[in-house]
Structures are given as C-alpha cells and as structure tokens.
Amino acid sequence: MRISIFLLLAVALLGCNGVNPLKKFTSEKAPSSRYLESLEKAHLDETALGARWVSAGQRAMRDSINVTLPYSESGYFKATEPDARSYTFVAREGQVLTVNGAILPKGSPKVFTDLFIWKEQKWNAIAHGDSSLNLTYEFAKADTCLLRVQPELLVDVYYTIGISLTPVLLNPVAGASNKSIGSFYGASRDGGKRKHEGVDIFARKGTLVVAPTDGVVTRVGTSKLGGKVVWLQDFKRGHSYYFAHLDSQAVKTGMKLKRGDLLGTVGNTGNARFTPPHLHFGIYQNRAKDPLHYIQTLDNIVESLPWDTTFHPLAYRVAAKHVSLRNGPGEKYIVNEKLAQNTYVRVIAQSKDWYRVLLPDHTQGFIFKSLVAPIAKGKKLKLKKPVTLMSAASIDAAPVTEVRQPSVELLATFKDYYYVMTRDGRVGWMLL
C-alpha cells in the first residue's frame, strides 16, 4: 500500500504546475516517450505498478489484434490494472489515417496515442496523437501499421475510438463513386505494347472535372493519345496530375486552383473517341503511380455506443460449450484459440456486437457478446485440505490467504486454475 500511495503522489507531482521534469524534453518526442522518461527519472518504473505499466505498453506491441478499417470501439481502463490497447491494420499509398476519440472524465487523464509502422523487422514510431485520442497521418506508401492507446498511471478512463482511412484526393469527376472507376492502373494497352498509367473514371459527357487538391496548372493542351489534356502540379506532395480525354478545358496555364475548383468536363477526345466518355486520371512523381487509393473511398465508420460508465462487473465467463476467441470482431477473423465453458474472461471493450476480452494470461481477443455472461453465482466445490488462495491465475501470483473451509464457490476456470469465492466473500484463484 505504501508503494501505491508513493506512486500516486509522485505521478501527481509529474503533472503539477510547479517544476515539471517533462519540460526538458524536446517537442519532437512523443508524449508517451516523455512520460516514460519522467517515470524512469523518478524511479517509478521500478515500482510494481510502474513496471506493469511499462510491460503493458511493450506487450501491446507484440500481441495486437487485427482490425479492418473503418473500425470503432468503446472500452475501459482500470486505474489499478495498467493496460494498453493496440490495433494492427494495413494502410495504402494515398490514404489518410484519421483517429477520432473521446475520454471520460474529460480533460484530466492523459491518454497516449502512438502510431507505428513495421520496418526492418520491428515497429517504428512515426506519429502520435493528442491526449483525447485524435490523430491524422497521410501515407506516402503502403505500410503495415500498429496503433497503440495507453493511459497514464492510476486513472480510470472510459473511451471511445474510431479509426478510418480516407483518400488523400477528391475524386476529380463530380458525383463519381468507386463504381465509376472502370479501368485500372497497369492494365494492358495496344496489345501489350504499353501499360495503362492511370485509372479511367466513367461519366456522362459534359460532367464536371474538378481539381482533386490545391495546385497550379502547368499545361493545357492537346495530344494524339490524351486528346484535350490538363496538367496540375501539387507542390505539397511533389505530384503532377494528368487529366485526359476532356471535352472542354476551363483553365489556363499558371492558374492556381483550390480543391474542388472547375478544371474542365468529361469527354472522349484523343484515342478515346470510340469509347464511352470518361476521364483518364494519372499521377506522376518521377514515374507513374497508381491513383486508385488516392481517390477510392471506404465505407463510413459505424460509431460504437459510448461505454456505459455504470458497467462495473467486468469479470465474465464463457456461457457456451465451446467458443472461438478471434483476432478481430467478426467471424471472418482467424481463431486464436477455443475456450471451454466457464472460462474466465474480462471484458475490456466492445465493438458493435463483439466483446474485446482479456484472459488471465493477458491474451486478448474477441467473442460474440451473447456467448459470455457476467460471473454471478457458482457451484459448491468441496476442499479435502487447506488450499492457498492466489491473486492471479499464475504460479508467480501473490498469495491472498490460506483457505481452511470445507468448501468454496466455484465461479470460473482458466487452464489449471479455479476462480473461487470463499464464505467470507474473498475471491481469488486456486491451483487445481
């Protein structure tokens, strides 16, 4: 208890308005890194809770769950049980990651949001969000990503988080959708003599073509292949955008355009005169790039319900005979393991109709919420001899007490351990 009180006071001092050791760190460092260094400077990482906080952050890097974006989740962090959540997904070149979140209570707790990419056989930090789980990052190439969320020590936090990917650019054909894209990058042209260096977006002749982002018109002209064409330079990204087969051109060389400004209209000029009207859209940066993910939209994110702050019985057990613990919230995700009936799980978050659960050995996964139930009453378990009641389902767990009663109430199980309640209301684990 003394260590916990000391840790609480020390952590509070780290965030006070007096001498703040965080000020000496440069602004380039992520808030989570600065916080960790402040714990190390105060030797708080050597305390039991501090060491568990560090371990939770490291474990989240190894045992992340996979999600398909867009994804939303609501969950809870318990002050006495340091933890971190992580999400692994794939981002494509030309996409923007947007993380939107909210926490309760507002303002006071720090919640660290860090984005990593897999490079050279390890996770490398590339961006971080603010303390309210908000982050935006634009990808210049395809990456396997991990997003980690972790609150500071000794705070109870309810959170909601939404993770989505959107295209960097506006689709240049007004009113077009993903279904309007009918010919893709790399497709064979002229009997295999060349490759298609862009995408074709089909629309009625005369449909407006607009600037997909801010830029400067560098060329307006005609060519044998492209017919009426326009080139737009994007200085922010170093891209040149190519618009071909236009029916009309509404700009002149040197004009500065804003995202959405009129550029021309869809046609079928050039070598497209015998095809349905469409816009050929290309992206160049020393070479041609695939424009698809720069303009392809994904489904709108479905918001999770806010976490119920009156929801306290987080201990659950498997209600069905055999339940699949999956690596994501849906039947399409791989099964990590099978859980037997009455297996102990702790509900830590919810995504639609799926619970994100934590097993006693720190394994995380998803279970359909109707397949688990809160732990209430159990069944009588007779004891033939005194048994040690432990704080966790682990051989290294601290002993709570020695049980000399003739029986206990069996609430749940996990591997070789029973989760029980004694006659005087104590709960803990017993080795079978």
Over the stretch 219-266, which tens digit does the pLDDT of each residue have? 999 999 999 999 999 999 999 999 999 999 999 999 999 999 999 999
427 by Cβ neighbours in 10 Å (0-12 / 13-18 / 19+) ranks as middle
Distance separating alpha carbons of residues 147 and 303, to the nearest angstrom: 18
Tell me the residue type at 383.
L
Average pLDDT over residues 196-207: 96
Count Cβ atoms below 10 Å from residue 153 Cβ, excluding itself: 22
Strands (E), 250-303: 256-257, 262-266, 278-285, 287-289
Q: What angle do CA 33, 66, 50 make, to 5 degrees?
A: 30
SS percent in the chain: helix, strand, coil, step 5: 15, 45, 40
Q: Does residue 372 have a pLDDT over 90?
A: yes
Q: What are phi and psi of 105, to 5 degrees?
A: -70, 150
Mean predicted confidence (pLDDT) in 6-27: 40
Choose between 35 and 189: higher pLDDT: 35
CA distance 73 to 66: 13
Which residues of 335-384 form beta strands (DSSP E)? 335-340, 344-351, 354-358, 364-368, 372-374, 379-382
Report d(CA 117, CA 144) in Å as an integer.
6
Burial 24-61 (b: 16+ CB within 10 A, else e): eeeeeebbbebbbbbbeebebbebebbebbbebbebbb
Can you name the residues that pair with 181 across neighbouring β-strands?
201
**What is the CATH architecture of 2-167?**
Sandwich (2.60)
User: What pLDDT is attached to residue 309?
Assistant: 61
Q: What percent of the chain has pLDDT over 90?
A: 79
| pLDDT at residue 29, as a whole number | 87
pLDDT at 5: 42
Domain 2-167 and domain 379-431, same fold? Reply is no
* 3-7, 192-196, 208-212, 298-302, range with greatest mean pLDDT: 208-212
CATH code for residues 379-431:
2.30.30.40
Given a cut of 80, whether residue 106 has pLDDT beyond it is no
Question: What is the reported pLDDT for 348?
Answer: 92
Give me the half-sphere count of Cα atoms (radius 13 Å) on the Cβ side of residue 390: 15
Helices (H), 42-159: 48-62
DSSP secondary structure of 311-341:
----EEEE-SSEEEEESSSSTTSPEEEEEET
Q: How confident is the model at residue 22 (pLDDT cuts 50, 70, 90)?
A: very low
Can you say whether residue 130 is alpha, beta or left, with left for phi > 0 and alpha for psi between -120 and 50 degrees? beta
The pLDDT of residue 2 is 40
pLDDT for the residue 108: 72
CATH of 179-281, one of 2.40.50.140, 3.30.1490.20, 3.40.190.10, 2.70.70.10: 2.70.70.10
Query: Which of 301 and 371 is assigned the larger pLDDT?
Result: 371
Rounded CA-CA distance 344/326 in Å is: 16
Check if the beta carbon of residue 144 is closer than 8 Å to that of residue 118.
Answer: yes
In this predicted structure, the answer to whether residue 18 has a pLDDT above a threshold of 70 is no
pLDDT for the residue 104: 87
Q: What is the mean pLDDT of the chain?
A: 89
pLDDT class for 304, splitting at 50, 70, 90? low
Query: Is the pLDDT reported for residue 190 higher than 90?
Result: no
In this prediction, residue 23 carries a pLDDT of 33
Nearest residue to 84 (alpha-carbon basis) of 108, 63, 102: 63
Query: What pLDDT sits at residue 301?
Result: 61
d(CA 303, CA 301) in angstroms, rounded, equals: 6
**For residue 302, what pLDDT is reported?**
57
Residue 192, pLDDT above cutoff 80 = no
Give per-residue pLDDT as tens, 63-104: 899 999 999 999 999 998 999 999 999 999 999 999 999 898
Q: Which CATH number fits domain 315-374: 2.30.30.40, 3.20.20.140, 3.10.105.10, 3.30.420.480?
A: 2.30.30.40
Whether 6 shows a pLDDT value over 50: the answer reads no
Domain-by-domain residue ranges, the chain? 2-167, 179-281, 315-374, 379-431
pLDDT value of residue 189: 75
Total residues belonging to the chain: 432
- For the whole model, what pTM was predicted? 0.87
Give the sign of the dihedral formed by CA 35, CA 38, CA 42, CA 47.
positive
Between 92 and 195, residue with greater pLDDT: 92
